[in-house]
Structure 1
Amino acid sequence: MQRPHRVVVLVLDGALPLDVGIPAEVFHPETGFGYEVSACGVTAGTVPSHGGFGYAVPRGLDALADADTIVVPGYAPAGRQIPAQVREALRGAASRGTRIASICYGAFALAEAGLLDGLRATTHWDAAVELAQRHPRITVEPNVLFVDEGSVLTSAGAAAGLDLCLHIVRRDLGVSAANEIARGLVTAPYRTGGQAQYLPKTNTEVRGQSLAATREWAMMRLDQPLTIAGLAAHARMSPRTFLRRFAEETGSTPLEWILRARVDTARELLESTRLPVDRIAEQVGLGTGSNLRLHFRRLLDVTPTEYRATFAGPS
């Protein structure tokens, strides 16, 4: 009888509870897919977690020697230096060919161990700049859900760890197994690694209302040419005054604001209709499907088709 695939979750001080729980659920033996999951710490005992919880871990770092896959959850504060013995244990596991994955800020542990040098990696968007600055040999991808570099994988924050763990199941056992586990967890079975990890509306927060009527007027005419002169005339201002006031209220130029409004409207149409991409591009004033794809990739780091596949309801 083939032995289970051993997944060991390395729980470090300040571990984020959701990050610890995700691999524990995805790889739980009760899924019936041949995984065995356990937790360890630097030493056996109770590991304090972020938020006042604590984890009772039965083993120390010696547990990593038995692992087929190691998952390092995020911990707070982000980027806190990890003990030297953890770095050595992770390097030793990597040298044995063990697959190692991180969730959220756990990427900092992999980076400290030198496991990400020369590779692409990601982490929670709010720590991506720090990771890149502290470890310049890593190509940090701040806008993706996860990065698969073969034996080393990293994911963005919180729920992106679920996307990563399901991706690992797909790699190991195929789509059907991942889908069945996802159904049990009541979650979407697949979001691509390239899906942008932080998807609010792309328009900036408005800090004033004196131009609200003009912005609303523009929103009703996104399918038409919109110019600075036309917007300024509607606002009854000179173009120069209009540009200054618009920047004060929105933090962007009018044309950039309009572009983002067009992309956001396209997102709504992708979610709520089955219109072809070319038709959506026309309706939002971006002309062609290729132009819409260009701006989607620039602003969201995802294609319209990938976005629709993730967020659209059933057809």
Structure 2
Amino acid sequence: MPYAQIEPPAASVFSSALSINALRCTSRRIGILLYDGFSLLGAGLVAELFQTANEITAPSGGGRITYDVRFLSVEGGSVTCSAAVRVWTDSLDPRRPAGLDMLFIAGGEGARSAASDTRLLCWLRAACSTTDSVRPIAEGRAVLVAAGVMKPAEAPRRPHLSAVPAGDDAELRFESMKGALAVIRRDLGVDVARAVVERVLPAWSDQLLPRLGDAGLTSPADKIRAAARWLQQNCEHDISIADAAEVATMSERNFLRRFKLEMGVTPSDFLLRARLETACGFLAETELPVDKVARRSGMGNGDRLAKIFRKRLSVSPTEFRQRHREQREHRAATDG
């Protein structure tokens, strides 16, 4: 079967290592563990985020932090991904510490076989003990579970699919993107992290940028108001209060307390009001069926929307639409 091949010294995010000038810069070593049948998309995105951060900060020179990204595999050499593309990797040396600052485990259909590779699992256990942060990319979590590094119950909370662009395991790749960007933000600042998102992941910027925080938000009140705006802008999605707390860079408990003090209502009630306003707009300005209005405003279904309307407005959605239509016709007749 014909295949494409990616090997050094190809100038690509999929090369075996990103160039580094050790004499001029502080280096962060990032490893991405590959295996036959891995997904090139997830691993490539992680590598490109760090490479783009290198490119953005390169003109400043001096002592800027840069990222030395290396693809790793058990045997080294070419490893074939699920799309039959070969990627060059460095081999694992079980006799030496990994010496990594961060390690990603690639996802893909080959994860099941990788999870039974004894040599890989032994190296992974040793590497995790000396690596600050270890993160799976999608199915790569199965490899960490097999190594005993991660328990099944310790999987990161998956963001809702409605809040993440569609794609194969997009919501799990989203988690690995956040992990990489958090490191870039910590090392190089929020402005660089934002620039990386806008260049590499423009389609995901609405979801990723608010979570990077805002360098101009210094007070808790500013952060709460920014989180409130984010709730309004994303109310049609199946989001949670934990998501909003992350936008405000606060613990959930602190966020709940401060939000009530600043906004006068709980985050849940604020979100419900935003969804109710959105639903009212759809009912007044469109002919969409009630079920579609409910889905597009984050209310779930028509029954739940009707229940909330009766409780909050003392009318059904259909009655609200009819009254609004009558009022509009009356105003038109009066103005005429």
TM-score of the superposition, structure 2-length normalised? 0.48
Equivalent position to 1:19, from 42, 50, 73: 42
- Residues 48 and 61 of structure 1: is their aligned pair in 2 closer, same or farther, counting only changes over 3 Å? farther
CA apart distance, 1:22: 1.0
Equivalent position to 1:73, from 103, 106, 114: 106
Equivalent position to 1:46, from 78, 83, 104: 78
- Residues 112 and 36 of structure 1: is their aligned pair in 2 closer, same or farther, counting only changes over 3 Å? same
Distance 2:142 2:36 in 1: 14
Alpha carbon RMSD of aligned pairs, Å? 4.1
Amino acid at match of 1:190: L
**Does the CA-based 8 Å contact 1:61-1:86 persist in structure 2?**
no
Which structure 2 residue ranges, 5 or more long, are not aligned?
Answer: 1-23, 58-64, 162-169, 213-229, 231-235, 239-278, 300-304, 313-336
Considering fraction of residues, name the structure with more helix: 2
Correspondences of 1:167-206 after superposition (within 5 Å): 167-187=182-202, 188=205, 189-190=208-209, 192=211
CA apart distance, 1:158: 4.2
- Residues 61 and 14 of structure 1: is their aligned pair in 2 closer, same or farther, counting only changes over 3 Å? farther
- Residues 191 and 156 of structure 1: is their aligned pair in 2 closer, same or farther, counting only changes over 3 Å? farther
Alpha-carbon deviations, 1:28-51, whole Å to 9, x = none?
A: 132435211111111111111101
**Does the CA-based 8 Å contact 2:102-2:134 persist in structure 1?**
yes
Equivalent position to 2:91, from 40, 59, 67: 59
What SS does structure 1 have at the residue aligned with 2:135?
A: strand
Correspondences of 1:17-166 after superposition (within 5 Å): 17-28=40-51, 29-32=54-57, 33-61=65-93, 65-80=98-113, 81-117=115-151, 120-122=154-156, 141-143=157-159, 156-158=171-173, 160-166=175-181
**Does the CA-based 8 Å contact 1:40-1:61 persist in structure 2?**
no
CA apart distance, 1:191: 6.2
What SS does structure 2 have at the residue aligned with 1:21?
A: helix
- Equivalenced residue count is 195
- Identity value in percent: 20
Alpha-carbon deviations, 1:207-263, whole Å to 9, x = none?
A: xxxxxxxxxxxx99x969xxxxxxxxxxxxxxxxxxxxxxxxxxxxxxxx96x6444
Distance 1:119 1:171 in 2: 28
CA apart distance, 1:287: 3.6
Amino acid at match of 1:49: C
What SS does structure 2 have at the residue aligned with 1:18?
A: helix
What SS does structure 1 have at the residue aligned with 2:297?
A: helix
Distance 2:108 2:126 in 1: 21
- Residues 267 and 201 of structure 1: is their aligned pair in 2 closer, same or farther, counting only changes over 3 Å? closer
Amino acid at match of 2:200: L
What SS does structure 1 have at the residue aligned with 2:91?
A: coil
In the alignment, what sits opposite 1:309?
A: none
TM-score of the superposition, structure 1-length normalised? 0.51
Distance 1:84 1:8 in 2: 19
CA apart distance, 1:143: 4.6
- Residues 102 and 191 of structure 1: is their aligned pair in 2 closer, same or farther, counting only changes over 3 Å? farther
Distance 1:174 1:115 in 2: 30
**Does the CA-based 8 Å contact 1:75-1:105 persist in structure 2?**
yes
Distance 1:54 1:160 in 2: 25
